């Protein structure tokens, strides 16, 4: 079978969807809810293309081509649909990509990462993060007005994390024993899309205050699943700065639950594509419908889930957390 | 997971489990029966208790993931125990424009239900909003358990509750059965759901008891819907000579007099008869006699005659005289003739007749019915299905319910013919759970058909076998979409599937499946009996035959009408409906419910036609026709429909799930006066793209109410940005004020449910706008027209 993609004739192999043909022949089409070799059912519409024969916008990930079909993957109209679908998804996405403290640190210290090691008792690792940003970690923040503490989300709940005090503590504790200091590398890429969590509701504040007791008090706003996050990748590519719709979202911010082993789930980052639902047996499931539809995991079914599930998730909703 | 609390501690766990097991034994253990199973459990326990649900996990193939997924998708299922009685407040379109929101608020206040709960503290009442009870002509409507109350005013909810409790107290007296000798003549009484809602059951009982008391042995015959919902309860008295006298809006107290008037008990003084009757007729026209209001002849029947002229009965053939379940009568009126005719025909011939007739699907999309039949028939697969789509979910539409209730045999006949034509041996009626009477009647009708060898093996002695079952929908508008409907029969969430493959090729259980709407099937017998030529003469070039509409809203005579395609909207409104209610000016007609749009008054000379409506941005939809007057706000209309589709979206694709919600956000901003001009453009752009990029029909048509109102009434949106709602519908932009006409009678102060009007006798009253909830009770109560609704900002 032969079809036309963006005025170019291409051969279709048996069973291929439009998305698969296009990608194989060098036409880049973004997609979130598609996963090769797994059950997937169109949901996100980020892979939208136009069927020029009838003018319809179709999801390329599940549509099978028909003989002589003419498809458009890169027109103004298609790009608008794609970026709109991303914007809509992001308007119901209550999460930070990077923690606010990191964003404002004039030295580019990955504060959240450092606090992650600190909370886990790994002072050496924490020191290494510190050392990557400062020449002299011991006096690192002495002259700084600490914007990090001013923007700290914990501050909106009770007290901001005492970042400078903790830095001094790490420096003092770890310096003599820390090996291989001076490994540079991490740098915040400010060109990437940044999702923002927005204000906590009163209920959320109360819940977070009551439940999060790390030794640093840090909420760990940075998305732990951001390495494989396609949502951020395509939002950046589409040049989206922030969603243009005022966020009203019913999703509970920062409710992170341990599914099994290192597998964690944070609902506020879920785009309800259903990949984890369709590809698990008696595990993740949908609850409710419409805008209020959620993906949930009943406590009794958590053990049915394998850590590999995180690879399917197109966002940071399902992630592996190394302690 | 599904439920955490269980209050029924009276019963032991073992007993509960035994009851659950009995249900599982009866219904089955496979994954695909999850919906019937949950329905049966809920019927037994009134909600899905955790004990019952746990037992399902243990005893059946259904797992946690499936059960949670399904039971939270369909709105029928409850996870918490409800109060003893359930109050359902209809929020259909007709009820909405007549103030259902205020009625709901009044119940909440009256029953002191607080903190977002839905149940009273004493667990006596629970309350919920329901999409549509299908009694649009009685709007606003409230149903408490089985009892329906029409025309409920916010100020009268306490009376409704009292009446209901009183009714509970009186154990219904047993009817005395009387052997009846037949005498010529009969009394016909409409017994559709809406007729019953307006009290026809009471009339029926009264007819039975009064005729017994008076010794008048006349045949009392409950018939299907008459369509004249604005005049129900309606009885037709058929005299021995065949002449018919109609009594609209009959009261139980009038029955005796009516019986007396027409039928004389045997042995009654015959010589007095003529004399007496003459007297009665002269005296009792337009005068009150013994509490009976006798209307003049014209008033009695004139309106109904006007209402019925201009209609054409194809789907509703036999209206007003056919008893819904009387199979012999249906057969006597050439019922099942069409079926017998086709059983000796070649299948291709039947399909070509249907193709030639030009009939298009009545479910909304308007796909050519014959084409669909052809596709299914062309498949070589031996297993095929015919599904009758009776999941009518539009708020403001109740045609399918009426047809299933009143003409069950006609729909069944259409289905068997379709089955024969496409070579299917299985039929399924998919009927909304909210239509219990329709389910009961179809079930009974199927049984009668079975007894008459009209379904089952070797129908009517032919080689064709066809069996029919019923599937009760569980409350999801999206299941009107055929792929979602099929998913729900298979025991899944009602998620639509990507098409192609179309159900006609790969449908239920992967087999070719013909899905036709109730109304489509009810037209088939006519086409077969009268030929495609006669059928295609009715209507316009692209739309043939008749269409049934539910005419409601601000119309003088609402009801169920069947009109030939090609009639104009103005003709429907003025000639059949008697014009706009209360002498107001027509503003627009909302057609097609949440998938359709608003057609402005100046364009109402448009003909009823699939393509003409589509061109205007509206849609035939399933046939709700709501008339809007100058006092209706179009922005609020758009918001109302969007809130419906937002609630009913299945949630699968981004544009429908999030896009509609974001549109609704903007509309809510507009209706509360907080929007900016730029929001209108954002709304429009979003609407256009939701229409383009949603995956199924629900999302693709959901923006129509917004797009049509933006197209024809954009200035109203702009006014809302400026903080003005001229009609005073949007509560964020109005307040109530007392004028100098007030004499200080304190009626308003007493009526106010939130004490916003201080009790100041003989002084001009004042309204505390901070306390006022804008329910409008004081306006209804004021005898001096001294309370006015005024905009917060000046126009």
**Measured between alpha carbons, how far is B765 from B755 in angstroms, rounded to an integer?**
12
- What 3-state DSSP class applies to B338? helix
Q: Tell me the pLDDT band of A180, cut-offs 50, 70 and 90.
A: low
Select the more confidently predicted residue: B680 or B214: B680
CA distance A282 to chain B (A): 5
**Mean pLDDT for the stretch of residues B49-73:** 95
Q: Number of folded domains in chain B?
A: 7
Residues 6+ apart with CB under 8 A from B653: A42, A43, A44, A45, B694, B695, B696, B699
pLDDT per residue as tens digits for the range B529-568: 999 999 999 999 999 999 999 888 899 888 889 999 999 9
Helix then strand then coil, % of chain B, to nearest 5: 45, 15, 40
Buried b (16+ CB within 10 A) or exposed e, B214-240: bebbbebbbbbbbbbbbbbbbbbbbee
Q: Is residue B695 part of a domain?
A: yes
Place of tokens 């199973």: B37
* CATH class, range A2-74: alpha beta
Q: Are A81 and B476 a contacting pair at CB < 8 A?
A: no
pTM: 0.88
B65 interaction partners in chain A (CB closer than 8 Å): 277, 280-285, 298, 301
**Which of B50, B68, B651 to substitute to test the interface with A, most A CBs within 10 Å?**
B651
What pLDDT shows up at residue B136?
Answer: 77
**Measured between alpha carbons, how far is B154 from B101 in angstroms, rounded to an integer?**
9
What pLDDT shows up at residue B416?
Answer: 97
From B308, B340, B360, the end of a domain falls on B308
How far is C-alpha A209 from the geometric centre of its chain's CA atoms?
24
Q: How far from B589 is each of B10, B96, B310, B580, B635, CA to CA, in Å?
A: 54, 15, 19, 11, 14
Q: B399 and B498 share a domain?
A: yes
What pLDDT shows up at residue B310?
Answer: 78
Is the Cβ–Cβ distance between B154 and B106 less than 8 Å?
yes
**Measured between alpha carbons, how far is B550 from B400 in angstroms, rounded to an integer?**
10
pLDDT per residue as tens digits for the range A139-176: 888 888 999 999 999 999 999 999 999 999 998 887 65
The conformation of residue B593, written as its DSSP 8-state character, comes to G
Q: Integer distance in angstroms from the first to the last C-alpha of chain A?
A: 51
Can you say whether residue A81 is alpha, beta or left, with left for phi > 0 and alpha for psi between -120 and 50 degrees?
alpha
Element (H, E) at B552: strand B546-553
pLDDT per residue as tens digits for the range B696-722: 999 999 999 999 999 999 999 999 999
CA distance A272 to chain B (A): 8
Q: Tell me the pLDDT band of B246, cut-offs 50, 70 and 90.
A: confident
Does B208 reach chain A within 8 Å, measured CB to CB?
Answer: no
Q: Is residue B656 part of a domain?
A: yes
Q: Tell me the pLDDT band of B795, cut-offs 50, 70 and 90.
A: low
Q: B113 and B192 share a domain?
A: no
Select the more confidently predicted residue: B393 or B49: B49
Q: Tell me the pLDDT band of A247, cut-offs 50, 70 and 90.
A: low
What tokens were used for B227?
A: 């369509």
Q: How far from B786 is each of B480, B756, B759, CA to CA, in Å?
A: 48, 16, 16
Q: Which domain holds residue B211?
A: 183-308
Average the pLDDT over each of B481-495, B610-624, B711-725 and give the range with the smallest value.
B610-624
Is the Cβ–Cβ distance between B42 and B78 less than 8 Å?
yes
Is the Cβ–Cβ distance between A156 and A206 less than 8 Å?
no
Q: How far from B118 is each of A5, B108, B109, B126, B434, CA to CA, in Å?
A: 55, 8, 12, 5, 20
**Mean pLDDT for the stretch of residues B496-503:** 90
Q: Could you give the percent of chain A with pLDDT greater than 70? A: 96
B650 interaction partners in chain A (CB closer than 8 Å): 289-290, 293
pLDDT per residue as tens digits for the range B646-660: 999 999 999 999 999
From B473, B505, B537, the end of a domain falls on B537
Does A83 reach chain B within 8 Å, measured CB to CB?
Answer: no
Does B682 reach chain A within 8 Å, measured CB to CB?
Answer: yes
Nearest CA in chain B to A91: B658
Instruction: Kindly tell me if the per-residue pLDDT of B298 is higher than 50.
Output: no
Nearest CA in chain B to A82: B693
Q: B491 and B438 share a domain?
A: yes
Beta bridge partners of B219: B186
Q: Are A285 and B695 a contacting pair at CB < 8 A?
A: no
- Evaluate whether ipTM surpasses 0.90: yes
Q: Is residue B178 part of a domain?
A: no
What pLDDT shows up at residue A173?
Answer: 84
What tokens were used for B181?
A: 């000798």
Indicate the residue of B651, B660, B661 with minimum beta-carbon distance to A289: B651
DSSP string, B227-264: S-GGG-S-EEEEPTTS-EEEETT--GGGHHHHHHHH--
**Measured between alpha carbons, how far is B589 from B580 in angstroms, rounded to an integer?**
11
Mean pLDDT score across all residues of chain B: 86
Select the more confidently predicted residue: A282 or A179: A282
**Measured between alpha carbons, how far is A159 from A90 in angstroms, rounded to an integer?**
29
Is the Cβ–Cβ distance between B746 and B708 less than 8 Å?
no
Nearest CA in chain B to A44: B654
Indicate the residue of A91, A244, A301 with minimum beta-carbon distance to B64: A301
For chain A, domain boundaries:
2-74, 96-222
Q: B445 and B494 share a domain?
A: yes
A291 interaction partners in chain B (CB closer than 8 Å): 646, 649, 651, 657-658, 660-661
Other Cβ atoms closer than 10 A to A25: 14
What tokens were used for B794?
A: 């000046």
Q: B58 and B104 share a domain?
A: no
Other Cβ atoms closer than 10 A to B180: 14
Q: B572 and B616 share a domain?
A: yes
Q: B283 and B379 share a domain?
A: no
**Mean pLDDT for the stretch of residues B76-90:** 91
Q: Tell me the pLDDT band of B607, cut-offs 50, 70 and 90.
A: very high
**Measured between alpha carbons, how far is A9 from A22 in angstroms, rounded to an integer?**
11
- Residue B201 main-chain phi, psi, to 5 deg: -65, -40
Is the Cβ–Cβ distance between B583 and B659 less than 8 Å?
no
A 86-115 residues with CB < 8 A to B: 88-89, 91-92
Q: Tell me the pLDDT band of B322, cut-offs 50, 70 and 90.
A: confident
Q: Are A282 and B64 a contacting pair at CB < 8 A?
A: yes
Q: B378 and B425 share a domain?
A: yes
Indicate the residue of A45, A91, A288 with minimum beta-carbon distance to B72: A288
Q: Tell me the pLDDT band of B220, cut-offs 50, 70 and 90.
A: confident
Is the Cβ–Cβ distance between B523 and B417 less than 8 Å?
no
- What 3-state DSSP class applies to B134? coil
- Work out whether strand B586-591 and strand B597-600 pair parallel, antiparallel, or are unpaired: antiparallel
Q: Tell me the pLDDT band of B280, cut-offs 50, 70 and 90.
A: very low
What pLDDT shows up at residue A128?
Answer: 87
Q: B385 and B493 share a domain?
A: yes
Nearest CA in chain B to A93: B658
CA distance B616 to chain A (A): 19
Q: Is residue B317 part of a domain?
A: no
Instruction: Kindly tell me if the per-residue pLDDT of B297 is higher than 90.
Output: no
- What 3-state DSSP class applies to B611? helix
How far is C-alpha B746 from the geometric centre of its chain's CA atoms?
40
Nearest CA in chain A to B497: A41
The conformation of residue B555, written as its DSSP 8-state character, comes to B
DSSP string, A97-142: SS-HHHHH-TT---HHHHHHHHHTT-HHHHHHHHHHH-S-GGGTTT
Q: Are A300 and B689 a contacting pair at CB < 8 A?
A: no
Select the more confidently predicted residue: B177 or B240: B240
What pLDDT shows up at residue B493?
Answer: 95
Q: Tell me the pLDDT band of B793, cut-offs 50, 70 and 90.
A: confident
Query: What's the CATH code of the domain at B665?
Result: 1.20.1440.230
What pLDDT shows up at residue A11?
Answer: 95
Q: B614 and B681 share a domain?
A: no
Q: Are B657 and A272 a contacting pair at CB < 8 A?
A: yes
Instruction: Kindly tell me if the per-residue pLDDT of B275 is higher than 90.
Output: no
CA distance A32 to chain B (A): 11
A 10-49 residues with CB < 8 A to B: 41-46, 48
Indicate the residue of B476, B649, B695 with minimum beta-carbon distance to A42: B695
Q: How far from A38 is each of A222, A243, A276, A309, B601, CA to CA, in Å?
A: 29, 30, 10, 11, 53
Average the pLDDT over each of A152-156, B339-343, B398-402, B568-572 and give the range with the smallest value.
B398-402
Q: Tell me the pLDDT band of B188, cut-offs 50, 70 and 90.
A: confident
What pLDDT shows up at residue B155?
Answer: 81
A41 interaction partners in chain B (CB closer than 8 Å): 495, 497-498, 652
CA atoms within 13 A on the CB side of B616: 28
Q: Are B695 and A45 a contacting pair at CB < 8 A?
A: yes
Q: B415 and B522 share a domain?
A: yes
CA distance A45 to chain B (A): 7
Indicate the residue of A62, A272, A289 with minimum beta-carbon distance to B73: A289
What pLDDT shows up at residue B296?
Answer: 43
Query: What's the CATH code of the domain at B613?
Result: 3.10.20.600
Residues 6+ apart with CB under 8 A from B647: A290
Indicate the residue of A81, A89, A277 with minimum beta-carbon distance to B689: A81
Q: B581 and B458 share a domain?
A: no
Torsion of CA B615, B664, B87, B79, to 10 degrees: 110
- What 3-state DSSP class applies to B548? strand
Q: Is residue B369 part of a domain?
A: yes
Beta strands in B18-135 (DSSP E): 85-90, 125-130
Select the more confidently predicted residue: B93 or B321: B93
What tokens were used for B574?
A: 């003025």
Q: Is residue B3 part of a domain?
A: no
């Amino acid at each position: 079978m032969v079809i036309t993609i963006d005025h170019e004739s291409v051969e279709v192999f048996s069973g291929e969807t439009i998305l698969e043909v296009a990608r194989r022949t060098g036409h880049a089409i973004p997609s979130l809810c598609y996963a090769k070799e797994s059950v997937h059912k169109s949901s996100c519409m980020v892979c939208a293309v136009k069927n020029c024969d009838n003018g319809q916008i179709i999801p390329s990930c599940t549509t099978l081509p028909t003989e002589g079909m003419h498809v458009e993957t890169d027109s103004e109209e298609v790009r608008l649909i794609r970026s709109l679908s991303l914007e809509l998804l992001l308007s119901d996405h209550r999460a930070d990509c990077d923690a606010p403290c990191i964003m404002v640190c004039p030295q580019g210290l990955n504060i959240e990462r450092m606090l992650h090691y600190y909370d886990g008792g790994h002072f050496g690792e924490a020191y290494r993060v510190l050392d990557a940003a400062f020449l002299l970690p011991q006096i690192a923040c002495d002259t700084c007005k600490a914007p990090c503490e001013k923007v700290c989300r914990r501050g909106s709940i009770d007290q901001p994390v005492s970042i400078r005090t903790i830095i001094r503590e790490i420096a003092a504790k770890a310096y003599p024993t820390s090996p291989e200091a001076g490994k540079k590398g991490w740098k915040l890429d400010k060109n990437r899309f940044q999702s923002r969590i927005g204000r906590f509701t009163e209920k959320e504040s109360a819940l977070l205050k009551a439940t999060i007791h790390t030794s640093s008090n840090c909420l760990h706003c940075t998305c732990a699943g951001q390495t494989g996050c396609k949502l951020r990748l395509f939002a950046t590519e589409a040049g989206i700065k922030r969603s243009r719709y005022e966020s009203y979202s019913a999703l509970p911010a920062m409710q992170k639950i341990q599914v099994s082993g290192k597998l964690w789930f944070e609902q506020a980052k879920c785009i309800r594509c259903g990949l984890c639902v369709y590809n698990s047996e008696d595990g993740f499931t949908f609850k409710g419908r419409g805008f209020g539809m959620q993906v949930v995991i009943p406590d009794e079914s958590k053990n049915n889930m394998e850590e590999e599930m995180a690879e399917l998730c197109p966002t940071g909703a399902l992630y592996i957390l190394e302690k | 997971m599904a439920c955490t609390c269980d209050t029924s501690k009276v019963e032991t766990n073992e007993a509960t489990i035994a009851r659950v097991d009995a249900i599982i034994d009866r219904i089955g253990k496979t994954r695909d029966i999850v919906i019937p199973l949950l329905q049966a459990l809920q019927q037994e326990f009134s909600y899905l208790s955790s004990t019952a649900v746990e037992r399902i996990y243990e005893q059946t193939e259904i797992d946690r993931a499936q059960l949670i997924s399904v039971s939270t998708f369909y709105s029928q299922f409850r996870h918490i125990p409800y109060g003893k009685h359930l109050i359902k407040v209809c929020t259909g379109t007709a009820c909405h424009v007549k103030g259902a929101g205020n009625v709901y608020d009044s119940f909440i206040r009256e029953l002191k239900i607080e903190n977002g709960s839905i149940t009273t503290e004493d667990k006596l009442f629970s309350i919920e909003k329901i999409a549509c009870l299908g009694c649009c002509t009685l709007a606003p409507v409230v149903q408490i358990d089985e009892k329906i109350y029409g025309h409920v005013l916010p100020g009268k909810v306490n009376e409704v509750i009292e009446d209901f409790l009183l009714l509970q107290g009186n154990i219904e007296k047993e009817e005395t059965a009387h052997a009846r000798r037949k005498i010529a003549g009969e009394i016909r009484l409409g017994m559709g759901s809406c007729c019953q809602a307006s009290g026809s059951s009471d009339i029926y009982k009264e007819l039975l008891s009064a005729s017994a008391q008076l010794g008048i042995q006349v045949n009392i015959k409950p018939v299907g819907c008459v369509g004249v919902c604005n005049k129900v309860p309606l009885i037709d008295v058929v005299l021995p000579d065949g002449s018919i006298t109609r009594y609209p809006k009959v009261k139980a107290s009038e029955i005796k007099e009516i019986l007396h008037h027409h039928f004389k008990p045997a042995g009654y003084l015959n010589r007095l008869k003529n004399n007496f009757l003459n007297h009665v007729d002269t005296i009792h026209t337009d005068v009150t006699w013994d509490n009976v209001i006798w209307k003049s002849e014209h008033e009695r029947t004139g309106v109904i005659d006007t209402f019925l002229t201009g209609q054409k009965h194809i789907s509703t053939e036999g209206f007003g005289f056919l008893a819904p379940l009387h199979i012999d009568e249906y057969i006597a009126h050439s019922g099942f003739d069409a079926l017998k005719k086709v059983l000796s025909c070649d299948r291709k011939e039947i399909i070509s007749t249907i193709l030639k007739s030009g009939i298009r699907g009545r479910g909304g999309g308007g796909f050519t019915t014959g084409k669909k039949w052809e596709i299914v028939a062309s498949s070589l697969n031996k297993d095929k299905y015919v599904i009758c789509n009776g999941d009518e979910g539009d708020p403001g539409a109740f045609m399918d319910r009426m047809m299933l209730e009143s003409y069950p045999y006609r729909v069944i006949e259409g289905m068997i013919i379709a089955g024969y034509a496409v070579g299917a041996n299985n039929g399924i009626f998919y009927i909304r759970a909210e239509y219990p009477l329709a389910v009961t009647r179809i079930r009974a009708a199927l049984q009668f058909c079975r007894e008459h060898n009209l379904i089952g093996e070797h129908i009517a002695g032919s080689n064709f076998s066809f069996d029919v079952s019923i599937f009760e929908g569980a409350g999801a508008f999206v299941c009107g979409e055929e792929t979602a409907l099929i998913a729900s029969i298979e025991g899944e969430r009602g998620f639509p599937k990507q098409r192609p493959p179309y159900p006609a090729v790969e449908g239920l259980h992967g087999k070719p499946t013909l899905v036709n709407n109730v109304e489509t099937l009810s037209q088939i017998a006519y086409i077969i009996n009268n030929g495609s030529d006669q059928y295609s003469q009715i209507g316009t070039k692209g739309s043939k035959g008749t269409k049934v509409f539910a005419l409601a809203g601000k119309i003088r005579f609402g009801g169920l009408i069947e009109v030939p395609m090609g009639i104009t909207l103005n003709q429907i409104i003025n000639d059949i409906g008697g014009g706009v209610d209360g002498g107001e000016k027509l503003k627009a007609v909302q057609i097609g419910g949440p998938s359709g749009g608003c057609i402005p008054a100046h364009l109402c000379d448009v003909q009823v036609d699939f393509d003409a409506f589509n061109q205007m941005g509206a849609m035939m939809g399933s046939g709700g026709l709501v008339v809007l007057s100058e006092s209706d706000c179009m922005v609020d209309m758009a918001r109302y429909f969007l809130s419906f589709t937002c609630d009913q979206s299945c949630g699968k694709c981004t544009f429908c799930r999030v896009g509609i919600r974001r549109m609704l956000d903007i509309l809510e901003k507009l209706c509360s006066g907080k929007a900016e001009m730029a929001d209108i453009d954002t709304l429009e752009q979003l609407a256009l793209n939701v229409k383009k990029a949603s995956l199924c029909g629900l999302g693709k048509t959901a923006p129509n109410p917004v797009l049509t109102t933006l197209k024809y009434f954009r200035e109203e949106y702009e006014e809302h940005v400026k903080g003005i709602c001229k009609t005073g519908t949007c509560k964020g932009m109005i307040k109530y004020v007392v004028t100098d006409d007030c004499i200080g009678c304190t009626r308003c102060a007493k009526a106010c449910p939130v004490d916003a009007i201080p009790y100041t006798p003989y002084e001009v009253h004042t309204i505390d706008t901070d306390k006022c909830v804008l329910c409008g009770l004081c306006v209804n109560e004021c005898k001096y027209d001294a309370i006015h609704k005024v905009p917060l900002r000046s126009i």
